[in-house]
């Protein structure tokens, strides 16, 4: 862990599971960015998370799946604030 940043998943099966480890990681990473940088909006934080994950996941099908799931997660988090 660097500066409290969550560890990246290493057990992804690349099949688009409903409980994908990358989605869980995105939730943790979003919380990390929110606590680290209060001056950024949640939208900016989610943009950082999306870019970070897209840089790590190279499979285009998984990228599409994760972006869809991250949009849903972002919407849920905005509704809860």
Tell me what pLDDT residue 48 has: 82
Q: What is the pTM of this model?
A: 0.75
Alpha helices in 37-59 (DSSP H): 42-56
C-beta separation of 63 from 54 below 8 A: yes
Q: How do residues 21-61 score in pLDDT, each as one tens digit?
A: 998 998 888 888 778 776 555 667 778 888 888 999 999 99
Q: Where are the domains of the chain?
A: 25-79
CA terminus-to-terminus distance, the chain: 27
């Amino acid at each position: 862990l660097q500066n409290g940043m969550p560890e990246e998943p290493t057990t992804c099966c690349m099949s688009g599971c409903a409980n994908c480890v990358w989605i869980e990681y995105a939730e943790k990473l979003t919380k990390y960015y929110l606590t680290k940088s209060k001056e950024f909006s949640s939208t900016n934080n989610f943009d950082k998370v999306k870019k970070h994950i897209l840089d790590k996941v190279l499979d285009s099908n998984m990228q599409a799946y994760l972006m869809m799931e991250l949009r849903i997660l972002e919407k849920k988090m905005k509704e809860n604030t």
